[in-house]
Structure formats: structure tokens, C-alpha cells
Structure 1
Amino acid sequence: MTISYNWLCDYLPVKPTPEELSVILTRIGLEVESLEKFEAVKGSLAGLVVGEVLTAEKHPNADKLKLTTVNIGNGEPLHIVCGAPNVAVGQKVVVAPVGTTIYPSSGEPLTMKRAKIRGEESLGMICAEDEIGLGSSHEGILVLDAALQPGTLASELFKPAQDWIYEIGLTPNRMDAMSHIGVARDVCAYLNNAENTQQYRVQLPEIKALPKADTPLAISVTIENTDACPRYAGISITGVQTAPSPAWLKDRLTAIGVRPINNIVDITNYILHETGQPLHAFDANAIKGNAVVVRNLPQDTVFTTLDEKERKLDAADLMICNGAGEGMCIAGVFGGLHSGVTDATHSIFLESAFFSAGSVRATSFRHGLRTDAATRFEKGVDISNTVFVLQRAASLICELAGGKAASEVIDVYPQPLPKTKVDVSYAYIHKLSGKQYEPAKIKNILTSLGFEVIKEAPEGIQVTVPYSKPDISLPCDIVEEVMRVDGLDNIEIPTHIVMAPAITAQPDKERVREKVSNYLAANGFHEIFTNSITNSKYFTPEVLEHTVKMINSLSADLDAMRPSMLESGLESIAHNLNRKNENLLFFEFGKTYKVAAKGYQEDDHICLYLTGQQTAETWIHKSSPVDFYFLKGFVINVLAQLGFSQLQWAESESASLQPAWEIKVKNQPVVTLGGVAAQKLKQFDIKQAVWFADFNWNNILALLQKNDNFYKEIPKFPAVRRDLALVLDKQVKFAAVEAATRAVKSPLLQHINLFDVFESEKLGVNKKSYAVSFTFQDPQKTLTDKEIDGVMDKLIKTFETQLQAGIRK
């Protein structure tokens, strides 16, 4: 939010310095991010004076130059060489003496120095208007009123506007401070609190009586959709002359970064930044039937907006229509091409209305129209201010554009909105703020902000909330108002803190997430964040049956909540591959969404995406691509970090992954992993293999709640390894060997590992050999051969009976 110091001071009963005001604004929660000086004319004509040309003779060494002497009112006349064709004796001119810096309308600043021009001394410069930033003409020097006295400062003569501009970092809820009067209200509340008084009040602008037109222009107003438009006011003004705005109005708007257009448009912009209420002016001749109707038009009605674009309206878009049912303006968002004010306009209908924040926001995003008006309405405007703002704008239009009121103010407000009531106790204010405020101070702050105390008791108060603060509805909101106006700096930091021990839910979700993130980051993975909203074209009709569709989609390519995280990750991979970043290890925490039996379901995931080479190619070894086993290693290690070691592996069916595997822990699915199918890669124009793992984070956290993980002492006694070579049918997976090993249930067996796979015709038809190592350890003692042989015998019998394995000797 941009605020002008001079403009703000118009509404303040006192005028702090710009620096003092900056401190006050920051103290009351309107953080000043920058404070910069504004000059309508760069340099503000500093050092320039009025001079009188005493002599003007031809330069002896140049045909187009003249030697002049100029009286600037402070001693000997200056000798100045001048090249302007219109310089003459007796003229009053603007002079830049030696040492003065001038700021041209275009080009770099120039500081005057003693100079010799074609052999003649020159002690300054007689200036044209473009040379000092007063205009664009360079046809000759600027000739002033002959009555002026030499030595008069040019800054006093032209009085170029100067100001201080604040850039305030507003939080989204502070719509009440999105105007100069709103900020002034907060400043007055601060001053009242600082001096324990009620004398500081916002000085509202005077509204002059409107001149009446000889011929009335009656335009009726009807509201058909009172939910989206609870209040609508308007007035007809005739005899308007569209012209450039006066200098003071242009300067006010330019100072805050608003480009002046013409007096009518400039006045509506001025009122917007003065009061926070958007206005709209219609050309009265474009209002067919002399009637304004606030209504919704049928779905896909074509409407041409001010930017000359044809837009298809949604049935939910609120429109301002004429008596013929034709749209003239998208309510609260953007005007229409054929009803706006032009240079030929002489009669206008001025609108001041209150539109529903939700309606305006939905329409604004639906059509991609982020206007100043929409920004205000979607945060909520002051419904009680509607008529005052209309009268203020009409007064300025009559004053600056020569208009006359051709109707009374029309105010359609069928169901006045009640004020919000909030009860708050003094004990609650103390509890939440940490400071014991006196009840008198609390009431003083709130009444200064426009609240009204309607009930009062020893333990607390009940207040009504002003319409200018639609975000306030809870007791904590009242506490915030008291704290910020009194000053957050005034809350003392306690010397000690009293706290009670608390039991938190286990596991700590954030610590678990951090543990996994740290492991992956330490192993070369980069965390990515992708959009939860994706493109429905990525998915099959079967998947889309349970996909959450966007009612108000941001674009045609973002129309569904993702049912899977694979596609959004592949978008990131494709983006990197297209920029020659080909070796990628990504991980992402995110959510997926689907339509459930009762509403919608949201699931948490962590996903791994791998593609490219495991390591860079060097002289000592060649690079090797990432593969399933590379992915599997990280998956197992992540699960090990979480305390899961007894993993159940099974092949899985998946249209997106080929091959696909599923890992279960205690019969609960925790990971799906595999290679991304070629058809899926083709959707994203990815031409290299991608490996993917999807962790079901909800199931993992649920298992952690039931899993007791304790620290244990490192065993003092040595581990013993035994190897075994098993001859098996080719279709037997190693997962079956692991399952058979677990079935023995020996506490001594700590680890099983497959270290070689051998296939040969010597083993038999469709046979293969697994070389497996078994690690045994007892934390209480050193194992004997007899104990280990006993377990090995059980393992061999299990393999022979369950897997029909042969033992290679």
C-alpha cells in the first residue's frame, strides 16, 4: 500500500514529521517498508532564480550565439553566453548560476561551471523549460512575467510539488488501512492512546452542496441479486466536461504511482485511495431505458470489456446491466467497452456500491482480471461509507468537471447489515497479550478505532465492530487491536517463564519428516515442491472417475487435484532435462486427493524420483545409469532410518510402473516402487529411464505409533557369518528365501544377505544358485559352533521343505 505524507496530513489534526509518522505507522502494525521523497520536478528547481536580461549582443565568434548580461538581484550582473533565438533585452528568465544542478526532462543532470564558449566567458545558463524539467519545449528560453523581481527563487515561483511516500507492508486482513483515511484513523487512535485523550479525530473532507441541473436525468436502480450486492447507490450528473485534471490532483496521483488520465477517471481513482471505496462512472447515454439493474446473465453470455476483449460470462458473474438487459460492467471488477466515459461524454451516472467479497473474488480469478477495484472488494469494503463516498466524488466532479446534479442520490439498501458484536473479558486480554491493560485504556483504544461499547461489566465488555473492519469477529481480534495500537514494544518481556510438562503425540511427525529429509539430502537428493493442482489429461478415464475436479480452475492445464504425485514430479524432471540437467535425484513431500464415499480424501506421501547416471564418468571408472537396485537401496535405507527391517516384498500391478513392486510392513502397504512405464514417459517427452518410489506416509506414521524403537547397547561379543549355496527353480524369488528364513524365528540370526546369483546348465534345467550369507550374534555371550550349527540345520530343512532347495556342497 502506497501512502502520501501530504495527503495523509489532510485528515490529521496534527502533523508529525515524516520520520515521526514513519515510526508511528510501524508501531501500530502498518510496517513502513520504505520512505522516499517525491518531487514532481526533479530537484525541485533548487538554486534556480529569476533574472532580467540587461543586454543581448551578437557573439563575435559565432553566428547563432549571443552575449548577455543578466541581473539576478544579488550584485554584479552575470555574463552568460546564450544560444536561444528568442532571448531579448528586458525579458524575465530562469537562470541557473554557477554551482546549480539542473535536471532536464530527458537526459542526465548537469551542474553549472565557469566556462568559455568560443572565447567568451559564461557564468551560468538561461534555461528553456525542458532543461529544468518544467516541460518538453526546447524552441527557446522560458520567458516569464515581466512584473517579477530579479532574484526571486524559481521554486517559490513555480512551487513544484514535493512529498514523502510511504510503502506500507499490509497484511491481507487489513483492508481498513487500504486508504489514506483508514490510515489516518489508526494514527489518531495511537495519538489518543499516547496522550490518554479522545481529542484526535480524523478530519473528513467537506462535502459541498451540489449545483442542480436545469433538466433532471432520472435513472432507476434495481437489485435482483441482493446476496452478491446488498447495497447500491448512484447519482446522475450532467454538463460534465472531460478534460485534464488540475495540477494538484495530478500530483497526488502521480506521487503514489497512479497515472493521471482525465478529470473523471482521476477523481474516481482519487476517491479510491482516499476512502478505499471503488467507484465506477457510466456514460449516461449508454444506459438504455434509463435503468440500472444489478443481476446475473445467462451462462456464456459474451461481454466486451474495456480492454476490447470479448469474454464469456459465467452464470455466477454479477453484472451491472441497463434497462434492456445488456451488460455494462462486471460488478466490482471491470467496466465495459461501450458504457465507459469518453472525451465525448457530457452526462454520467456515478456508481458507489457494496459487492460480496466472495462473488468478486471468484469472478476476478475466473476471468484473470486483477484490478484495484477487485482487490478492495474481495477484502471487504465499508458498507456504511457507500453514500458518503458517492457524495464526495459527485462534489469533486461538479467542482472540477463543471457538472451539475441531475438527480438525488439513489440508495438501494433493502436489508441493512447488522454490526458484528464481540464479547471479550479483561482476563482473556491479559492471558493472550501478556500485559495487564487498564479497562479505561482498552475502551479508549477501541472507541478511537470506531468500536462502540454496548455492554460493560467488571470482568469485560461487549463491543460492536465498525463496518470498516470486516475481518474482526472474535475476541482474539479485539486483543490484536488493543495490542497494536498500544504498541507491541510496550509489552514487557517476563523475567521468568512458568510452564507445565506436556505429553505430545508420538511419533513427532515433523521430526520424522526431518530425519528422512536429512538422510536423502545427505545422499545427494534435492527436495522439490510441485503444484497440487495438475492437468487431467495425464490420467486415464478410470482414474478420473475418482479425481477431484476444479470448479473454478486457474487455467485449462490446471483443472484437477492430483490423484498421484508421479505426474507433477515428471514435469519437474522434464523441465530439467530440457535444460541439459540430466542426472537427477529428487524427493518430495506432498499430498494426493480423491473423491471418497463421504466427501473427499487427502493422503500424505513422500516420493523419490531418480534418472540419469549414478556417478559421473571419470578415468578410473565408467558411469553407470541408475536402476531398480539403486532405487531399492535408498528405499530400504529410508525404511531402516524409521526402524522398519522386516519387509514383505510382492510384485504389483500398475499402469504407470513397469516393473512394479510393493513393500508391506506388518501387512500394511508402505511403498510402491518401480520403473516409470514408457507410455507415461512419452506423455512428458522424456527419453531416458526414470525410477520412482511412492511412500504411503499415513501408513508409515500409523505403524510408527505401534512400533517401540529403543536405543540399545552395541554388542560386546563378535558376530559369526555362515554361507550357504541354494539350488532353486528359476522362478523362486529371493523374497521367498527371506520369508523362509524369518519362519525359523531364531533370535541369534541378525542379518541375511544375497551376495551371488549363478546360473548354469550344470545345475539342471531351469535351475539357479543363490549364494546367501547369514550373520549370527548373541548380545550376552560368544556363540559356539554347536549353537550356530543348530540354527543352520533348521534353515536347511526349511529351505528343502518349503522351497525344494538343494544345498550345494
Structure 2
Amino acid sequence: MTISYNWLCDYLPVKPSPEELSVILTRIGLEVESLEQFESVKGSLEGLIIGEVLTTAQHPNADKLKLTTVNIGNGEPLNIVCGAPNVAVGQKVVVAPIGATIYPASGEPLTMKKAKIRGEESHGMLCAEDEIGLGGSHAGILVLDPSLIPGTQAREIFQPVQDWIFEIGLTPNRMDAMSHLGVVKDVCAYLNNAENTLQYKALVPAITPLPQAKEAFPITVTIENTDACLRYAGITISGVTIKPSPDWLKNKLLAIGVRPINNIVDITNFILHETGQPLHAFDANAIKGGKIIVKNLPQNTPFVTLDEKERKLDAADLVICNGDGEPMALAGVFGGLHSGVTDTTRHIFLESACFSPASIRPTSFRHGLRTDAAARFEKGVDVSGTVYVLERAAALICELAGGQAASVITDVYPNPKAQTEVETTWAYIKKLSGKFYPADKVERILTSLGFTFLLKTGEKFKVAVPYSKPDISIAPDIVEEIMRIDGLDNIEIPSQVTITPAAAARPDKEKVREKAANYLAANGFNEIFTNSITNSKYFSPEVLAHTVKMINSLSADLDVMRPSMLETGLESVAHNLNRRNDNLLFFEFGNTYASYEKNVYEETPHLCLYLTGQKTMESWLHKAQPVDFYFLKGYVQNLLQLLGITGLQWKEPETDGLWQITVRNKTVVTLGAISSGKLKQFDIKQPVWFADFNWTNVLGLLQKSNNFYKEIPKFPAVRRDLALILDRKIQFVAVEAAAKTVKSPLLQQLNLFDVFESEKLGADKKSYAVSFTFQDAQKTLTDKEIDSVMEKLVKAFEGQLNAEIRK
């Protein structure tokens, strides 16, 4: 949501600085994500001066240049070389003296310096309008009103607009703050609470009487679908002239990134961002039969919208029709080509309505029309303000377009909506918020926000919710309003917390997730959140056969629910690599989706790790070391150990090159290097390592595990080493498996500490150097006991792996 500081100040009874206002907005839940300056003219003409041309003479060394002297009001004329063909004595012009910076309409800024042009000194520049950002003409220097006084600052004459623009990260429920007046009402509530008063109120613009047309041009309104259209108001305005808007209106819209079009369209956009109420203007002559009918049309009825595209209407689409039943607009979403305002329009019908969010949102997505109007209607608009907004817009149209009211306001409101009432207790507010709010503070905050108290006792109260806050319906909503206006940072954190430890039969899945996330974050991983909707082009036909497809996709690149976490994670990896962020440790909790039967869908939670780049950077002590499989394996094993999962079984890679870790015949983790083909899809040119935890299986194993504690052994451990010559294809997991068949309680650990390959060992042979750690918790081991176990181990390796023992 984009908000203008100057625009806010039009309605604020006090004028805090942009920085102060930024802090206030963030405190009341309207988080300011950015604060940037807007200038209608780049540089705001700073340093430019009005001058008078005193003399002109031909440049001795250039036919197209002239030597001028210019009075800029300081008593000493400037010598300026000028190439403009229209420069003449007596002209009042814009001068850029030495030190001033100009900002051309196109090109880079230029700071004036003393220069020699074809041998003659020049102490500045006489400016054309395109050279200082005032227009696009470069035919000659800008010649001004002869009455202007030399030395006057150019910005005083042209008055370029400067503004500060807030980008607010609005949560989806805050429809009431999707306008400048809505934000101002929240700021006034904050100020009232801060100063213990009710004096601050938004300066809502007054409605001026409309000039009346000599001839009436009434248009009747009928609502057939009263569930989808709650209220519909309109007025006919005759004698309008379609033309560009005045500068003040253009600058209001440009400041918030809205392109001016013409005075009628600009007024509807202005009112939208002022009040949050969308409007639509029809060419009144295109409304056949003098009737507006709000209804649904048959399936696949053709309709050409303003973007000149023919669309097939759905039977559920709410449509604004004329007296012949022909569609003129998709209600609350988009207008029609043949009923819109054009340069020749002289009579308009102005619509202000309230449509049901449940009707607008599906239509908007169905036709891919994400308009500002739809964004507001789908969240709910203030049904009580329909007529006020219409009167406000009509007054501006009469003022700026020369129109006259040719009808009374038609207001069709078949089922007036009752105000929502919410009841709660003072104790509940303290219980939910953790803070005691005095009754007078609560009343002041809610009254400032537009709530009306219906009941107030020593234990509870009841309020009527303003129509501008359709998201508020239950007691927690009321508590949220109180907390955010008083300030979330004003809730004290107690110095002591009293809790009673409790053991649960099943582990809390949220705590397990937090435990895993804390471990990864502490080890340098960054958490990412990627879109569950992804691009079907990433997947093979076999995978897509069981993929959940989007019916109304937002774009061609987002058309399926992800069947795998890998692709969306690689998008984040590629995004970072493309910005020279080469060393990445990412983790993500998310879901994958599949459908193996019609209308039956599966949702599977995952934890995924993505590693690429260097695990240690180069230094004088060692060279840089890239991440590898064993680096990934260490984090995976440590995380499983942290969660108390033991009995890991390793399954060698098959076609995809990824290892699997299973526990009790359930796959817990899939890990390994991403194939070069998959990396090429994302234009990734360095290795990426990936681990995918099946989080459902992880949690299932936790539910069956028990924790055991034992005393640290008092007696020393003993180490023995063996060098095994094995077939090159044998993995270390096979060595571990063979050692476990010995089943000796004395063997505590075995570790691979060296791998050696050489033709001297024999064809296709390699050597594993393995250490074995023995320990007895009850006594010190003897050589005889250790030798006995070592003999069994050697026999197991020779018998099961055909190993040779290197002497």
C-alpha cells in the first residue's frame, strides 16, 4: 500500500514530520517498509535562478553560438555562451549558474562548472525546458513572463512538488487502512491515546452543493442479485469536458505511482485512494433504455472489456447491464469497452456501489483481472460510505470537468446491513493481551476508531463496530485494536514466569520444528520461505500425472502445487547466485502436494536443506574448502541425533543419485548431490547438495522413542586399528553392518579415518583404515578380552566382505 505524506497531511489536524509519522504508523500495525522522497521535477530546480538577458553577440569562433550577458540579481552579470536560436535581449530565462545541478528529462544530472567554449568563457547555462525536467521541448531556451524579477529562485516560480512516500506492508485483514483517510483515522486514534484526549479527528472533506443541469437525464437502477450487490448508488452528470487534470491532481496520483489519464478517470482514482471506495464512470449515452441492471448473465456470454479483449462470462460473474440486458462492466472488477468514458463523452453516469467479497474475488481471479477496485471489494468496503463518496466525487467532477447534476442521487439498498456488535469483558482484555488497560483508555481508543459503546458495566461492555472495519466480529479483534493503538511495545514482559512442567504422550510438533530450526540457524543456515505454487515446466510427464493443477492460476509460470521441495528451493539458490551471493546454507519447512485419485489430495510436510559454495573460506592457514556430501551428511546425522532418532540404515543411490536413510523401514531422509541436468534448468553452474526430511516420518519416530540416561563410564576406553583391503565397490556402511553382526557389548564405536587406493593393492581394490573403540562400564579391559573381539571382527570382515587384513 502506497501512501503520500502530503496527502495524509491534508486530513491530519497536526503535521508530524515524515520520520515521526513513520514511527507512529509502524507502532499501530501499519508497518512502514520504505520511506522515499518524491519530486515532481527531479532536483526540484534547486540552485536555478531567474535571469534577464542583457546583451547578445555573435560568437567569434562558432556560427551557431552566441555570447550573452545575463543579470541574475546579484549586481554582476554572467557571461554565458548559448546555442539556442531564440535567445534575445530582454528575455526572462532560467539560469543554471556555476555549482548548480540540472536534471534533464533524459540523461544524467550535470553540475555546472566554469568552462571555455570555442575559446570564450561561460559561467553557466541558459536552460531549455527538457534540460531541467520541466518538459520535452528542446527547440530553444525557456522564455518566461517578462514581469519576473531577476534573482528569483526558479522553484518559487514553478513550485515543483516534493513529497515523502510511505510503502506500508498491509496485512490482508486491514481493508480499513487501504486509503489515506483510513490511515489518518488510525493516526488520530494513536494521538488521542498518547495525549489522553478525543480532540484529534480526521479532517474529512466537506461536500459542496452540485450545480444543477437544465435538462434532467435520469437513469434507474435495479439490483436482481441482492446477495452479490449489497448497495448501488449513482448520479448522472451532464456537460462534462474530458481533458487533462490540473497539476495538483496529477501530482497526487504520480506521487503514489498512478498514471494520470484524464480528469474523470483521475478523479475516480483520487477518490479510491482517498476513501478506499472504488467508483466507475459510464458514458451515459451508452446506457440503453436509461436503465442499470445488476445481475448475472448466462454461461459463456461474450463481453469485450476495456483492454479490448473478448471474455466469456461465467454464470457466477456479477455484471452491470444496460436496459437491453447487455453487459457494460464486470461488477467491481473491470469496465467494458463500449460503455467507458472517451474524449467525446459529454454525459456520464457515476457509480458507487458495495459488492460482496465472495462475488468479486472469484471473478477477478477467473478472468485474471487484478485491479485496484477488485483488491478493495474482495476485502470488503464501507457500505455506509457509498453515498458520501459518490457526492464527493460528483462535486469534484462538476468543479474540474464543468459538469452539472442531471439527476438526483439514486441509492438502492435492498437489505440494509446492521452494525456488527461485539461483547467482551475487561478481564478478557487483560487475559489475552497480558496487560491491564484502564476502562477510560479502552473507551478512548475504541471511540477514536469509530466504535460506539452500547453497554458498559463493571465487568463487561458491548460495542457496535463501524462499517469501515468489516474484519472485526469477535472479542479478540477488539483486543487487537486496543493493543495496536496503545502500542505493542508498551506491553511489559514480566521478570518472572511461573509454569508447571508437564509431560505429553506425544511430542509437540511445533517445539520439535523449533528445535530443528534453532540447531540449523545456530550452525549458519538461513531459513527460506518459497511459494507452494510453482511452474509445471520443471517436472516430467510422469510427475505431472499426479500433480495438483491450479484451475485459476495467477500466471502461466505458477500453475501447479509443488510435488517436490527441490525446485522452489533451487529458485532461491539461483536468485542468490545471480547476485554474487555464492556460499549458501538454506533450510526450509514446507509442504508438497499430490493426487493419485480424483478429488483426493495428499499434503506432505518436509524439512529441506540446500548447501552450495564454500564451507570454509581461504586464509593463510588453509585453502578454501567447498561443501561436499560429508559436510551435508554431518548436519543430517547431527540433526537426527539431536531429535533422538537412532538405528539409521543407509540405502545406496539408484537412478537419481541420492542416498536414503531409513529407520524401521521408513524413509526419513533423502540426500545427495543435485544432478547436472536439474541444475541446468535453473542455470546453476556450481554443485548444490540437498537433503529432504520426510517430516511426517520424523515425527512418527519421535512418538515411539524413549530417552535413556546412564552414568559416564569411569574406566578408560581402548582403541585398536585395522587396515582392510576390500573390493572398490564396497561402501563403509557394509563394514559397519558386518561389525554389528559380532554383537559385542564392548565395541562402542568404529570410525573410518583413511581411504587408500593404489594399483599396488590389486585391481579394483581399496584400503579402509578403521579404528575400533572398546569400553566396559564395570572394569578396565584386558588385552585378552579386546583381542578376542578383534578376532571375531576380522572373521566377520573376511567371511562377509572377502576382506584382506593389511599387516
Corresponding residue to 1:141 among 140, 143, 156: 143
Give the letter aligned to residue 171 of structure 1. L
Matching residue of 1:235: 235
Partner of 2:243: helix, strand, or coil?
A: coil
Match of 1:165 in 2: 164
Q: Give 2:188's aligned residue.
A: 188
Deviating more after overlay: 703-712 vs 261-270 = 703-712
Q: 2:208 maps to what in 1? A: 208
Task: Decide whether aligned partners of structure 1 residues 335 and 712 sit closer, same or farther in structure 2, where only a CA change above 3 A counts.
Answer: farther
Q: Aligned in 2, Cα 1:319/1:663: closer, same or farther, shift over 3 Å? A: same
Partner of 2:775: 777
Measured after TM superposition, the shift of residue 273 of structure 1 is 2.1
Q: 2:546·2:594 contact (CA, 8 Å) conserved in 1?
A: yes
Aligned-partner Cα distance in 2 for 1:358–1:168: 28
SS of equivalent to 1:461: strand
Question: What's the offset of the Cα at 1:368?
Answer: 4.5
Distance across 1 between alignment mates of 2:313 and 2:631: 53
Letter of the aligned partner of 1:204 in structure 2? V
Partner of 1:602: 603
1:748 matched to 2:743: no
Partner of 1:533: 533
Compute the displacement of 1:283 (Å): 1.7
- The counterpart of 1:696, out of the listed 694, 697, 700, is 694
Shift of 1:445: 2.1
Kindly, what percent of the aligned residue pairs are identical?
Answer: 58
Distance 2:731 2:433 in 1: 64
Structure 2 match to 1:259? 259
Residue identity opposite 2:499 in structure 1: A
> Which AA in structure 2 matches 1:160?
Q
| One-letter amino acid of the counterpart of residue 35, structure 2 | S
What's the CA shift string for 1:437-491, capped at 9, x where partnerless?
A: 33123212211211111111112321121121223333333233334434556x3
Task: Please list every run of 5 or more consecutive structure 2 residues that lacks an aligned counterpart in the other structure.
Answer: 618-624, 758-765
**1:512 alignment partner in structure 2:** 516
- State how 1:239-638 maps to structure 2 within 5 Å: 239-297=239-297, 303-311=303-311, 316-487=316-487, 491=490, 493=492, 496-503=495-502, 505=507, 508-515=512-519, 531-536=531-536, 547-565=547-565, 589-595=589-595, 600-607=601-608
Distance 1:642 1:724, change over 3 A: farther
| CA-CA distance at 1:357 after TM superposition | 3.5
Residues 456-465 or 208-217, more deviating: 208-217
Could you tell me which residue of structure 1 aligns to residue 716 of structure 2?
717
The letter for the 2-side match of 1:548 is: V
- Compared CA separation, residues 514 and 715, structure 1 to 2 (3 A): farther
Q: Is the 8 A contact 2:516 2:639 kept in 1?
A: no
SS in 2 for 1:250: helix
SS at match of 1:328: strand
Report the secondary structure of 1:779's partner residue. coil
How far residue 544 of structure 1 moved from its aligned partner, in angstroms, is 5.7
| Aligned-residue offset at 1:389 | 0.6
- Kept after mapping to 2: 8 A contact 1:334/1:369: yes
What SS class does the counterpart of residue 384 from structure 1 fall into? helix
In 2, the alpha carbon distance for the partners of 1:292 and 1:424 equals 44
What is aligned with 1:619?
none
Report Cα offsets for 1:533-552 as digits up to 9, x if no partner.
34456667776675433333
Q: Distance in 2 between matches of 1:70 and 1:398?
A: 45
Partner Cα distance (1:807, 1:155) in 2: 94
1:335-365 deviations in Å (ceiling 9; x for gaps): 3333221111112121212233354444444
Q: Whole-Å Cα distance in 1 between the matches of residues 802 and 121 of structure 2? A: 114
Matched, 1:646 2:653: no
- SS in structure 2 at match of 1:245: coil
Matched residue type, 2:209: A
Structure 2 counterpart SS, 1:670: strand
Separation of aligned partners in 2, 1:581 and 1:100: 40
1:486-542 Cα shifts (integer Å, max 9, x gaps): 4556x37468334335447467332234446767x7xxx998765433445666777
Partner of residue 621, structure 2: none
Residues 4 and 256, structure 2, Cα contact 8 Å, conserved in 1? yes
| Mapped partners of 2:612, 2:3: distance in 1 | 52
Deviation at 1:290, TM superposition (A): 3.6
TM-score w.r.t. structure 1 length? 0.75
Distance 1:672 1:797, change over 3 A: same
Query: Offset of 1:390 from its aligned partner?
Result: 1.0
Determine the C-alpha separation between the residues in 2 that align with 1:443 and 1:486.
12
For residues 8 and 575 of structure 1, do their structure 2 counterparts lie closer, same or farther at Cα, with a shift above 3 Å needed? closer
CA 1:413–1:677: 2 relative to 1, 3 Å:
same
Cα separation, partners in 2 of 1:250 and 1:483, compared to 1, 3 Å: same
Using the alignment, how far apart are the partners of 2:478 and 2:242 within structure 1? Answer: 46
Please say if residues 607 and 695 of structure 2, whose CA atoms lie closer than 8 Å, have aligned partners that are also in contact.
yes
Q: CA deviation at 1:393?
A: 0.9
Q: Structure 1 residues 457, 749: closer, same or farther in 2, change over 3 A?
A: same
Which digits, 9 at most, give the CA deviation of each residue in 1:62-109, with x for residues without a partner?
89979899897x9x89799898868577x8x56869899696875857
Distance of 1:214 and 1:712 partners within structure 2: 101
Give the count of matched residue pairs.
780
Counterpart CA distance in 1 for 2:656 and 2:78 is: 91
| Distance in 1 (alpha carbons) for counterparts of 2:740 and 2:432 | 57
Instruction: Check conservation: 1:101, 1:110, Cα contact below 8 A.
Output: yes
Alignment CA distance shift 1:451-1:46 (3 Å): farther
Q: 1:792 to 1:176 in 2, by over 3 A?
A: same
1:579 and 1:48 mapped to 2: Cα distance? Answer: 44
CA drift of 1:159 comes to 7.0
TM-score by length of 2: 0.75
Q: Could you tell me which amino acid in structure 2 is paired with residue 430 of structure 1? A: K
Mapped partners of 2:693, 2:104: distance in 1: 64
1:683 Cα deviation after fit: 9.0
What is the root-mean-square deviation in Å for CA atoms of aligned residues? 6.0
The Cα of 1:6 is off from its aligned counterpart by 4.8
Deviations 1:226-280 (A, max 9, x none): 4443222222222221112234333433444433322111211221122121211
* Equivalent residue number for residue 34 of structure 1: 35
Deviation at 1:553, TM superposition (A): 2.4
Cα distance in 2 between the residues matched to 1:61 and 1:575: 57
Query: Structure 1 residues 699 and 395, CA, compared in 2 at 3 Å: closer, same or farther?
Result: same
Q: Quote the residue 2:620 is aligned against.
A: none
Distance 1:450 1:113 in 2: 62
- Partner SS state of residue 417, structure 2: coil
Q: 2:679, 2:685 within 8 Å by CA — same for their partners in 1?
A: yes
Aligned equivalents of 2:726, 2:42: Cα separation in 1 = 93
| 1:582-630 deviation line (CA, Å, top 9, x unaligned) | 99998765432235999644323345679999999xxxxxxx9999999
- Larger Rg, first or second structure (1 or 2): 1
Cα separation, 1, equivalents of 2:581 and 2:463: 61
- Native 8 Å contact 2:673 2:688 kept in 1: yes
Q: Write the letter of the residue equivalent to 1:219.
A: I
Q: Which has the higher mean CA deviation after the structures are superposed, 31-40 or 251-260? A: 31-40
1:192-228 per-residue CA deviation (whole Å, 9 max, x = no partner) reads: 4445444443333222333333443343434444444
Distance in 1 separating the partners of 2:434 and 2:86: 75
The AA in structure 1 aligned to 2:516 is V
Q: Assess if the C-alpha contact under 8 Å between 1:86 and 1:140 holds in 2.
A: no
1:383: Cα distance to partner? 1.7
Cα deviations across residues 5-39 of structure 1 (Å, max 9, x unaligned)? 55444434555676766665555454564374756
